[in-house]
Structure 1
């Protein structure tokens, strides 16, 4: 009985439903990117937020509402309709903020595998890293 209870506890702890608020925000963000919902994606940024896009044709650092909107519009337009598959997600939280790291495959006109790091402060996206990871096996 103890072994069965331990197994049930492990499954419950591994459940995505137990993700914290930042994990929930990250999942919603990934879904919005996949849907091409640029207004939602850009509306989540805190003042002064930045995006570090590492690799691929959009490589660069983006900051400010217009530059962030432009880069996400370029990505979603180039991809067309797409899906997102999350292979792994990790959330770290303390009273000052939260960081969510996710390995995601966006499949549209192209398959784009990324290591996606999102930094949240006060419920807003403060910074993010979009690391194109073409050699990933997820």
Structure 2
């Protein structure tokens, strides 16, 4: 009986990972827009008061307002032909908002491994942490 419950728990965990909620869908669309270099689509996801924390790499810093669009434009210009591979994604939701944590590897000739944390409120990205994480590229 314990084995049956363990199997159900494992299958349920796998099913919840495959069925992304609204924030997971928004996060996936955001990640794909970044990989495509579509700065307009990337910046359209943000709330007016959003903050982007970029940790590591040449764009390291904290950005708000128009700085966010400028940062993604620099990234898109420097990194073309990217493919995004989501290694893992977790979504947490309650009535006040949703958080998505994703391990993503963006790759062209180089690999850009990222631990990505996104906070959504009212369907908009309000806070974001893009952390270069070299352990993901292995």
Distance 1:89 1:17 in 2: 10
Match of 1:26 in 2: 27
Q: Hey, what does 1:115 align to over in structure 2? A: 115
Aligned to 2:104: 104
TM-score (norm: length of structure 1): 0.88
- CA RMSD, Structure 1 to Structure 2 (Å): 2.1
Shift of 1:72: 0.4
Structure 2: 5+ residue runs without aligned partners? none
Q: Which runs of 5+ in 1 are unaligned?
A: none
TM-score, length-scaled by structure 2: 0.88
CA displacement 1:17-57 (0-9 Å, x = unmatched): 41110011101111110011100000010110010000000
Residues 51 and 128 in structure 2, CA contact (< 8 A), matched pair in contact too: yes
| Contact 2:105–2:136 (8 Å) recurs in 1 | no
Structure 1 segment 1-138 matched on structure 2, within 5 A: 10-11=10-11, 13-15=13-15, 16-64=17-65, 66-137=66-137
